[in-house]
Amino acid sequence: MRHELLETLRGTRPIREETFFLGNNIRFLKEHRTYERDRLVFLPAYREIVEAVTEKHLAGAKKVLEVGCGRGFFTKWIAPNWLKGKIVSFDINAALLSEAPKEGNFFQGSIYQLPIKTEQLDAIIGLSSFDSFLFLTKVLRETKKTLKPGGKMIFFQDLGTVLYEDEEKWKEDPIKEVQASAEKHWEDLANDLKREGFRVIEGEESPVTAMGVEKASDIRARLDAQIPDVDFPIFVIGKLGYNVPLLSRRSMVEARIPEKAAQEWFDPKTHKNIRKALSRDLKKAGIKAGAGDVVEVLQLRYLVAEKV
């Protein structure tokens, strides 16, 4: 049974869910710092996807709200420059907001009681935030009120979600279940949007994949990354909540990755096989990589819906 329906039958109210997000500051700060470190490895790939989607659908937007911004990763790192000044971001957790960029426009607020007048916004954006809301239909109704007719909602999803994970299946194969949870959420989100009076424009199909290439030194400049100096290109894969290899030293420590296992990630035969398997995609993307390069392959989902 879907968690939202089950909790509604139990009489659970949104304020109980928000109490959870208002507390647990140490846990959420740790999680979001980890998300940021892992995402920074794939920065060019993120920017490619986000810029293509936002340029197509938000070119004329003037007022954009970001939901569940956390520490402000979207605005700081991957929002196109032409869009940054139009975004107002919010989160319910004050501890996360305390680490958001000082130059941004952030506020603390509730998704269930937005302090925004009816039909004021041109668009709403979320990066792996709507999957965290237990009462998704209530959230969509609240956000819909703030959108102008024809306003857009754009969702980017690069994580799994515990709301859709099966504990027993997770024990058997955590990677498979994390990715399955993202797919279940995506199906519910698309169906709920249609029921709540939105028209899904784009993104119901397969996840989108982007590739980028940069020097290992460029990644080290923005991240405490453990990237060996080798005479072949290193491939890093990010796929809906599963990244390999982990390049952040801190993430490796937190994940308790043994040194031997970390070394095995950079076995030349492994990367030669990856390169061979991706040869057609690399050629199509115009990517040429050699010694000292890191090739980033990022897969995520996005969905664009319009208020009708």
- Residue-wise pLDDT for 4-41, tens only, equals 655 555 666 666 677 777 777 888 899 999 999 999 99
Overall size of the chain counted in residues: 308
- Residue-wise pLDDT for 254-265, tens only, equals 888 887 777 788
Unique residue bearing structure tokens 């009681």: 113
Ramachandran angles phi, psi of 99, nearest 5°: -105, 10
- What pLDDT, on the 0 to 100 scale, is given for residue 228? 86
- What pLDDT, on the 0 to 100 scale, is given for residue 2? 59
CA 100 to chain centre: 16
Strand-pair partners of 211 = 297
> Is 63 within 8 Å of 86 (Cβ atoms)?
yes
Stretches where the chain sits below pLDDT 50 are 1
- What pLDDT, on the 0 to 100 scale, is given for residue 14? 65
Unique residue bearing structure tokens 């024990």: 171
Listed residue (239, 116, 140, 158) closest to 198, CA to CA: 140
- What pLDDT, on the 0 to 100 scale, is given for residue 258? 83
Stretch(es) of the chain classified as CATH 3.40.50.150 = 3-206+303-307
Burial of 245 (0-12, 13-18, 19+ CB in 10 A): buried
Pick the CATH number of 3-206+303-307 from 3.40.50.150, 3.40.50.620, 3.40.50.460, 3.10.250.10: 3.40.50.150
Q: What is the pTM of this model?
A: 0.90
- What pLDDT, on the 0 to 100 scale, is given for residue 159? 85
